[in-house]
Amino acid sequence: MDRRALLLSLAALSGGLAGCAESEAPPGRVVVPFWFTYGGRNRATLETLVARFNHAQSDVWVRAIFQGDYFEGLAKLRTALAAGAAPPLSHVVGEVVPYLASTGVLEPLDDYPGARTLPLHPALGQAGSFRGGAERPLVVMPFNRSTPIAYVNQRLLQGQPPPDTWQALHDVARALTKPGRFGFGCPIDWWYWAALVGQAGGEVVEADGRVSLGGQAGVAALKWWQDLIATGAMKQPAGRDYNAWEQLSQDFLAGRVAMIWSSTAFVRYLEETADFPVQALPLPHGVRGSVPTGGTHFVLLKSAASELKQAAWRFVSFLLSADSAAFWSSETGYLPVTTEAAQRLEASGFYAKHPNHRVALDQLSVAEPWPWSKSLFRIQREVVQPRLEAAVLERRDPVRALDEARAAAAESQL
Amino acid sequence: MRPTHRREPLWLLLPMLLTLGVFFVYPLLSALQQSFYEWDLLTPARFVGLANYRAILASGELFASLGTTLLVSVVVVVGSLTLGLALALAVHRPGRIAALARSAVFSAYVVSWVSVGLLFLWIFDADAGVVNRLLSLVGVGPVKWLTSTSVAPFTVALIVIWKVTGYAMVVFLSGLSGLPPEMQEAAALDGAGPLSRLRHVTLPLLRPTAAFVAITSLIASFQLFDVVRLLTQGGPVRSTTVLVYAIYEQLFRDLRVGRASALVVVFFVVLSALTWLKLRVFRAQEPV
């Protein structure tokens, strides 16, 4: 065997061994199954962090298991909880946290080392993500948190001021529309509607717990979408839920839509995939600036063995270290969840070089907390989401659509 | 052959009985029980009597999803019967080309539903899809195959037809092969032309085969789920929310085990009625 062939075969062998090492835990480690729901680039970034953690210490081995999108993962988690087979660690969307907490399946984190003293961004931890979140037992840790932002094909926007009000956005969208291209696109989705309700000066759930769906603000939000579609300036994406988001990303990348609303989580993906310069912009103001936060929070499941929960917590702490949180944010576009991570990105000149990553961070100054309502996920999934689609697609009277939604919300209360 | 012991047949049947019991009878009885409870999987179940049935009736969900399922099913049955028969008549002849055509048409039937869903997502995309691109060449469209409430159910039906027609064709082919050639010859001697023979001899003799194809494709389209999950997620605006998808939504999206179970019970009743119909048709057609 010549030297070259020997080297090649050794390389292949070591590659094979490394491959085994990623899936097989070395003996003596506490193996922590971790159910996650990140796809594409974000998944690869998470797997890098998992590998770093697994190699950085010799006690714990995190086995990351992909479970589909957020809602598929949540369905599996709840089924597993009912079957008594839940993993010790997973992550869930904010809207379902109050409900899960009320059923007692989430592990209180207050007594875990450092849980209350982590330098979390004030808008992103439990205290800032939920109204009254600070007064409740701590049950979540933020990791992949986001806000909606606007992405625009910079080449097309050139010469126009970035739209900073609803009216300005409508005007720009119309100006950018031409045969074969829509000026604007937005998933007809609860998250963006919640942003619009806030911008129109309303709340989805009032401070006293009443489900108002924004009252007049909710109507204004729906009407704004209807008007944009009626003038032909906005594209209604195909599919539902994340299929619609993905569809819109593809339309944007292919030049079929000039400006879209999506999550800051896609900054890196859109920048790298587009063959045109992508500019991120904050969402416009209505009567005020307002955005909801999104993404997911990490949770430990109470049903797991104590040893597993302790081990899972070590992994969570690792993810929230300045190094990991900054790496995650810079590789994906999700927000840096700790102030340390944000400072690190600033100091290293990352934001100066990648201003699109900063947009969501700056926008956190107008982030609104979600209500701590255990019916919130039902209001989202059952009451509001299907009616938004019906109102926008079938041009239904928005006042009537929301009246019906409020009646359904009263029936859905848990 | 006589069993050496009276219990012997029971032992032989046991594996199948166990499988049926564990995977069919028990879940069904469990669903029947759950349909009288309100349960979210995480908190204790609460007995609510018939409230779940009232809820699926009052919300219009039951009739809406049954209606969508029926609409899709009728289109599928008519489409697969007509196409399956036409294709069978076209390829019911010796020769390599006919054999190739038979295999090609049948191949769609063995493709997994998931692959079919992904394939048609690409084909029927409103902007970038192949179909709309071709239609635009002749100045038609764009057709909103998957984004219009009035078109989407038919798009789903079309995909099911594409998938199951191969099976219908094979069944019709076997039906055609079983027809006695003397009758065709006698009709020909009496001066009947090909069209007349088809109408007065072949088609009446194929009636049992047609009934079989119709009922099996009806049952298959009642079980539709994968394509809907991949292509439309029940939308736009519930226009493709077929019964099985409605069950999935209630259970996994909304965590309403009771309402999902009530839908399962209704679904079981409807499918049982269809199966009873199938058995009746075949008993009536058994050779005398």
Tens of pLDDT, residues B8-48: 888 889 999 999 999 999 999 999 999 999 998 888 999 99
The answer to whether the complex's ipTM is over 0.85 is no
Whole-number Cα distances in Å, A234 to A186, A289, B151: 8, 22, 21
The mean per-residue pLDDT over the stretch A139-168 comes to 93
CA distance B170 to chain A (A): 34
**Which pLDDT belongs to residue B286?**
57
Mean pLDDT confidence for B148-162: 93
Q: Tell if the CB–CB gap between A239 and B252 is shorter than 8 Å.
A: no
pLDDT of residue B121: 85
Across B168-177, average pLDDT:
93
| Mean pLDDT, rounded, of chain A | 90
Q: Where are the alpha helices (DSSP H) in B47-151?
A: 51-58, 61-91, 96-110, 113-123, 130-137
- Of the partner residues A71, A236, A393, the one whose CB lies closest to the CB of residue B253: A71
Distance (Å) of CA B8 to CA A24, A344, A395, B21 = 48, 77, 67, 19
Nearest CB among A238, A240, A378 relative to B254 is that of A378
Taking CA–CA distances from B59, the nearest residue in chain A reads: A408
Q: Which residues of chain A neighbour B127 with C-beta distances below 8 Å?
A: 251, 254, 256
Calculate mean pLDDT across residues A197-223: 92
pLDDT exceeds 70 at position A263: yes
Quote the minimal CA–CA distance from B271 to chain A in Å. 27
Q: Do the bridges between strand A294-300 and strand A141-146 make them parallel or antiparallel, or are there none, so unpaired?
A: antiparallel
Would you call B252 and A75 a contact, using CB atoms and an 8 Å cutoff? yes
- The CA distance from B113 to the nearest CA of chain A, in Å, is 18
Closest-CA distance of chain A to residue B198, Å: 45
pLDDT at B193: 83
Q: Are B42 and A239 within 8 A, CB to CB?
A: no
Do A82 and B42 make contact, defined as CB atoms within 8 angstroms? yes
Binned at pLDDT 50, 70 and 90, residue B195 comes out as confident
pLDDT of residue A38: 92
C-alpha distances out from residue A273 to A142, A276, A318, A400, B80, Å: 27, 9, 30, 41, 42
Residue A193: both structure tokens together: 């509607």
Contact A277, A357 (CB under 8 A): no
Residue B125: the pLDDT is 81
Query: CA of A391: which chain B residue's CA is closest?
Result: B237
pLDDT at position A324 is 97
Q: How confident is the model at residue A13, as a pLDDT?
A: 47
Q: Chain A to chain B, count of Cβ pairs less than 8 Å apart?
A: 58
Alpha helices in A231-281 (DSSP H): 241-253, 267-273
Q: What is the pLDDT of residue B190?
A: 86
Measured between CA atoms, the residue of chain A closest to residue B148 is: A393
Instruction: Evaluate whether A188 touches A392 at the Cβ level (below 8 Å).
Output: yes
| Range of weakest confidence among A11-20, A65-74, A98-107, A342-351 | A11-20
CB contacts, 8 Å: B43 with chain A: 103
For residue B232, the chain A residue with the least C-alpha distance is: A239
| Element spanning A363, H or E | helix A358-363
Judged by a CB distance cut-off of 8 A, whether residue B236 touches chain A is yes
Section A114-143 average pLDDT? 94
The residue-averaged pLDDT of B56-64 equals 91
Inter-chain residue contact A238 with B147, CB threshold 8 Å: yes
Give the pLDDT score at A12.
47
The answer to whether B126 contacts chain A (CB < 8 Å) is: yes
d(CA A310, CA A317): 11
Separation in Å, CA of A161 to nearest CA in chain B: 29
Q: What is the per-residue pLDDT for A18?
A: 42
CB A164 within 8 A of CB A172: no
Please report the pLDDT score of residue B94 as a whole number: 87
What pLDDT score does B46 carry?
94
Share of chain B above pLDDT 90, in %: 48
Residue A141 forms beta bridges with which residues?
A: A298
Mean pLDDT within A109-134? 94
Residues in chain B: 288
Q: Cβ–Cβ of A79/B252 closer than 8 Å?
A: yes
Task: Give me the percent of chain B exceeding a pLDDT of 70.
Answer: 97
Which residue from A minimizes the CA distance to B44? A103
CB A221 within 8 A of CB A214: yes
Please name which of B149, B162, B164, B134 lies closest in space to residue B232, comparing C-alpha atoms. Answer: B149
Please give the average per-residue pLDDT across A49-56, as a whole number.
96
Tell me the mean pLDDT in the region A129-151: 95
pLDDT, mean of residues A128-151: 95
Q: Give the H/E segment covering residue A180.
A: none
Backbone angles phi, psi at A146, to 5 degrees: -150, 170
Give the global pTM. 0.84
- Give tens-digit pLDDT for A212-241: 999 999 999 999 999 999 999 998 766 677
Mean pLDDT in residue range A262-270: 94
Closest by Cα among A328, A299, A303 to A41:
A328
B232: chain A residues, CB-CB within 8 Å? 239-240
Note the pLDDT of residue A143: 95
User: Above 70 in pLDDT, residue A160?
Assistant: yes
